[in-house]
A and B are shown apart, each in its own frame.
Chain A
Amino acid sequence: MFLSSFLLLSLIALVAASPHQQIADLAAKSKGVVRLDADTFDLITAPKRNWSVSIQLTALDPKRRCAPCREFDSSWNAVADAWNRVPKDSRDHHFFATLDFDNNGHSVFQKLGLSSAPVVFVYPPTDGPRAAASGKTSPSKYDFPNGFEPRPLAEYISKHTPVPIPYKDPINWGRYITFAASAVSFALVLKYVAPILQSRWTWAIGTIVTCLVMTSGFMFTRIRNSPYTGGNGNWIAGGFQNQFGQEVQVVAFIYGLLSLAFLMQILVIPYQTSPTRQRLQVYLWTAVIVIVYSIIVSLFRVKNRGYPFRLFL
């Protein structure tokens, strides 16, 4: 009893002596991510440190309404959790920490001159064998080059840790299950949908819709993440090399309508038996072509101001 309390006492004395040990205990206690406030922030970023630390500065309080903070926090914790799994002797040379603005952290935000969150700083060690040869002690900032994904974050921080972070993307069971379920259900209904799948006109419609959508700039909106509209009722993006999501729909519909008009003239009208009805349809579809073609040309004039031609609109 006496011995054990003596041991404990000496342990406490030891802890008080070494800030490194103190932080290591904090980290062990909080399962990898140290929750910082202004004081522990100074401790962990002490000018003389033989450890490195990556700090997330964030504002998770719901009243701050910081959606990106919450989105990023889960990635942060996933990476920190992965780091928590490496052996203790290398784990204690790098720490993950989170400083919340509302957890007594405004002074730190002020000191670093930050006006936005989340921000990630990686402080390299200044002392000991892992100190940078160039004598670099200032923190480097991670500026989310690939969004809030955990994998690039882990890759970036791994450059500063003694061993790479063993981060693995969680296995997306949901996707596998959905895939398997859809495969099974497809196999089950195959008997009933087979006639539809074997019909050439199913494929024709699929092909034509693909062509229409692709030639209306769908991939552009996907790759550039264009908004659906520009806001305040403005759905045409200015500029020749730019477009909104709604333009894809409008242009694909216009092209589709024009194609349909031609198909009607080729495939349907010649089968009419009544001259008057046929004549009516000929004029009708010709008018559709002329009018819709004028519309698309005038749309194009909006996008390309220098276009010199116009039809009836």
Chain B
Amino acid sequence: MRTAYPIPQNLSPETVNNTASLLRIVALILISGAAIASRLFAVINFESIIHEFDPWFNFRATKVLASEGFYEFWNWFDPTAWYPLGRVVGGTIYPGLMATSGVIYNVLHALHLPVDIRNICVLLAPGFSAFTAWSTYMFTKELKDESAGLLAAAFIGIVPGYISRSVAGSYDNEAIAIFLLMFTFFCWIKALKSGSVLFSTVAGVFYFYMVAAWGGYVFITNMIPLHALVLLLMGRFSSRLYVAYSSWYAIGTLASMQVPFVGFQPVKTSEHMAALGVFGLLQIVAFAQLVRAHVSSKQFQSLLYYAVVATGLLGAIAFALLTYKGWIAPWTGRFYSLWDTGYAKKYIPIIASVSEHQPTAWPAFFMDLQFLIFLFPAGVALCFRQLRDEHVFVIIYAVMASYFAGVMVRLMLTLTPVVCVSSAVALSALLDTYIDPQEPLEDQEESKERTKAPDASNGATTHQDSTPVSPAMPKKGKKAAATAASSSSATKTQTTSSTVTFILDALSSSSTKKSSSSKPRGIFGFDARLAVILNTIGMLLFFVYHCTWVTSTAYSSPSVVLASSNSDGSQHIIDDFREAYYWLRQNTEKDAVVMSWWDYGYQIAGFADRATLVDNNTWNNTHIATVGKAMSSSEEVAYPILRKHDVDYVLVIFGGLLGYSGDDINKFLWMVRIAQGVWPDEIQEANYFTPNGEYRVDNQASNTMKNSLMYKMSFYRYPDLFGGGQATDRVRQQSIPSPGPTLDILDEAYTTENWIVRIYQVKKDDFLGRDHKTANAFAQGKRRRKAKPPVRRKALLA
């Protein structure tokens, strides 16, 4: 045997195997280390702090769980949220995340390790990313081999698409959900391959954990039935499939119904019907198979066939009827808007208003996945070569997830694992081919080839006889070859005919496992190997640099603390949010009610410990619309709303001074839209635009805009800041008219250092019973203008 480079000859197979498995363990440990370390940028650059919005609620709930115990947490009614309605927390959340950190907290304390609950919450996501890497390794190993598994684990460990939702401090459901997703899929594949009830039970249990942890469990609920259905249609029904699916479905569904937030949904809503339908279908098919095995009469068999078809049809009609009658709830808005993409914008503006529900442009894909995004189709193509059951799974997953990721930025998270898996399959196939030291024999060379080329079609027909799969394959092969040849340069034209042969050989070898003449031959020479491998290493290195850069710059900002750089390049921390929230905590009554847009509800509850009207759990559209109406109407209209809801303080986010673009004026149109959805007669979006249809805040702004509470609160006393100069809004690059807006019903209570957060106190009723406008005018020493008698005006008109 000739080799391209020297390899040691005197090693026993055991030594090789042992070393390989040791290396695998070491590699997995290093990958876990890298995955955890690259998520710590946020802690190092800022501090150990909970990020963003939803994590603050999770953190608050976890604190309740850790300090009061599980049953208290389960029955927790939070009177400060959604004031005055309150919120039954135990029944409206996915408790998996809090339960996980609660268990970790209690275990550590039982071991006398007094770790702060906050640090557990901050570091939970990085910790679970290591488990995700491991379960991706297990999954990919089932697909190809260990080396592909290691590559996949390395990819998912550092790929920005997953890091974006799992940096330290991003204490959200997704932090543990991706691990559960991958592990459930791994167990499902394993159960399907072996027909083992043990693995399908484990899959069911992990499915339950997933249901308890994340609303995205519906993805699993539909992926596994879809896989089973496709296998059924491909004629791959087997007792393994039957056992795996039935046990997974029975255990998983019964377990998932124990989560109060899910309850009876698995038998009542359309999202879950696919799983139930496939379950029923499998029972029918299995029954038919059983009967067929015992009955020989031909007539009876055809009768059976029609009976099965009729049962299936009847079942489908029953589903349709139940849906029509309203026994089965139709698709909920959030899921429905994935199919009918215009739906959310029309009917549920709250869902459309969230930035992570926007569609994804291509740079976002490249940013999050970099070179994996173009290795991914190659990996999917390689899955078609062997097309075992688990490959079918990856193919379905790839198609579904790439559609979903295109529709919603947020679902990039579900695409990332399959991209990592299939590009690892492609890359490891490439490396397998080019690292393999074995040199092919340089036999018969050109002469044989020349005789072979003209008879490409002959060769194809002989293959056709031997391949049961596809007579149409040679045609496909030629087409692929044609495109291949045309896309490469002109130098290749001479080799086209031979390429056809090789592609044909490659394709047919895949379907008929080594037909005689078409064994892969391997690579000649050392330099060709070196070129490919160096290129691959270069791409991997670039990927690492890319991931590090993206993670450190784009995904590691806590968003409650902002960073900018000084002129000398050092970091400058902008801490306005915490400044405002601590002011609220220190200076207001314990039972004060703070009104703000819903984005800040969880943070106010978490940081300032005050009651809020609306928060990020957007369950009550009318309540949110009420806040939207108060923000977008004039003072006279807003005041009764504020008073009726016992609002003591109003909090707005204003980025005009600093150029912070995520402020309330930029979100204002969504407030208007949501309010318009409930009060179309009183609030109209068009009134907030200039006659030319522009959204402006300068002196051309419409009167409705200038009189709205939001505008007034944002720009109150803002022009004073500029002395006599022109006041400029740095986000919208417009100048604010100089005598700024006046406020009668609110007092400015607090404005932070950079004016990002402004807090106003709502005035109580005037003690003389005057309205606030009159009282204010009196206080400023203005004389009350005598109103002209209305009678005389009428006379003038007539």
Contacts and interface: CB of A to CB of B under 8 A. Distances in A.
Contact of A223 (B359, B502, B527): B359
B342 to A, nearest CB: 7
A296 B507 CA distance: 30
A284 B491 contact: yes
B429 A199 contact: no
B521 A219 contact: no
B433 A266 contact: yes
A212 B378 CA distance: 10
A95 to B, nearest CB: 21
Contacts, number: 233
A140 B681 contact: yes
Interface in B357-401: 358-367, 371, 373-378, 380-382, 384-385, 387, 395, 398-399
Given A265-B532, A289-B535, A309 B549 contact: yes
Interface stretch (A82-90, A101-109, A270-278): A270-278
A143 B506 contact: no
Interface string A251-278: 1001111111011111111111111011
Interface string A185-218: 0000000000110111111110110111011111
B566 interface: no
Interface in B499-521: 499, 502-503, 505-507, 511, 518, 520-521
A232 interface: no
A307 B448 CA distance: 52
Nearest to B375: A262
Given A260-B487, A278-B524, A199 B363 contact: no
B465 interface: no
B377 A255 contact: yes
B406 A268 contact: no
Chain B interface mostly? helix
B364 A241 contact: yes
B365 A215 contact: yes
A288 B448 CA distance: 30
A307 to B, nearest CB: 8
A268 B506 contact: yes
Contact of B381 (A199, A242, A251, A259): A259
B380 A207 contact: yes
Contact of A268 (B371, B429, B502): B502
A68 B476 CA distance: 47
A143 B363 contact: no
Contacts of A269: 433, 523
Most buried by A among B376, B507, B520, B528: B528
Nearest to A250: B362
Most buried by B among A159, A254, A270: A270
Interface residues of A, number: 82
A274 B506 CA distance: 16
Contact of B402 (A211, A220, A271, A308): A211
Given A199-B476, A270-B522, A211 B449 contact: no
A284 to B, nearest CB: 7
B376 A279 contact: no
A309 B448 contact: no
Interface stretch (B247-255, B439-447, B705-713): B439-447
A208 to B, nearest CB: 5
Given A223-B341, A278-B528, A212 B506 contact: no
A69 to B, nearest CB: 18
A282 B523 contact: yes
B228 to A, nearest CB: 18
Contacts of B382: 263, 266
A268 B448 CA distance: 18
A286 B346 contact: no
A277 B484 contact: no
10 interchain residue pairs of minimum CB distance: A219-B406, A275-B524, A199-B470, A217-B362, A214-B402, A204-B384, A258-B374, A282-B528, A259-B377, A303-B363
Given A204-B381, A207-B399, A293-B371, 8 more contacts: A199-B469, A202-B472, A216-B362, A259-B376, A265-B433, A273-B444, A284-B491, A304-B363
13 contacts: A136-B681, A143-B684, A198-B470, A199-B470, A220-B359, A222-B341, A242-B361, A258-B375, A262-B426, A267-B385, A269-B523, A273-B445, A300-B363
